Structure 1
Amino acid sequence: MGTRVARVELTGPAEELVRRLTARHGPVMFHQSGGCCDGSAPMCWPRGEFRVGAADVLLGHVAGNTPFWMSADQYASWRHTHLTVDVVQGRGGGFSLEAPEGVRFLLRSRPLTDEERRRGEAEAPLPTGAEVTG
């Protein structure tokens, strides 16, 4: 069937920041929880320091092999959306790895196109934390 519908990507500046963070901290991952405050921004963690829940959904990989996870509740609301991770000046209020850099990750979104939506509906469900380790 080919490749899955791309549901998440990085802007150039966000990808460069992920490369720098990976060089400093080793492999990293993203998690988008969808809560208030810090949960409304994607959080970047050293891989293995954030425990993915069984119901979390793996949207895909960015910057090569960096997994991007989202809580199942959030995904239920955003499943028809394509996300772009960007980076902007200003410190977020959380524990995400980019905070000491004086920048923060944020999400920009757009609805999936009709073609992307049709393809996505024909695909197998996205993997969850219950199925994927690492």
Structure 2
Amino acid sequence: MKRTISISDAPAAVGAYSQATTNGDLVLTAGQLPLTPDGELLDDASVGDQTKRCLENVEAILVSEGGSLDDVLKTTVFLDDIDDFEEFNEVYSEFFDEEPPARSAVEVGNVPKGAAIEIEAIAATE
């Protein structure tokens, strides 16, 4: 059965969506922007710093469900400029240094709120 996840250690959902959902076996996060838990957008920060914040948000959601980034099976990364891939990948690799998840990374026309990146994840909790 589906259950929505809402925690204070990640930015609140700002629309008709949840921070994440779970069925008890999988956690699927919404796309995480470089927003602090207080809602501050890091849109002027480097792509590396924005990547770090996005992944910290994903991690906070997983930790709230008793998991960690080690449980991530797949991520999808949306970049507003694919030329930022190298900087993004350098920071991303620090979070997933061993047995990284499957990943798709694509350039999109725009990322919400003018951010440079958005990251969503699917993780196994059982």
Normalized against structure 1, the TM-score is what? Answer: 0.23
Where is the strand percentage greater, Structure 1 or Structure 2? 1
Larger Rg: 1
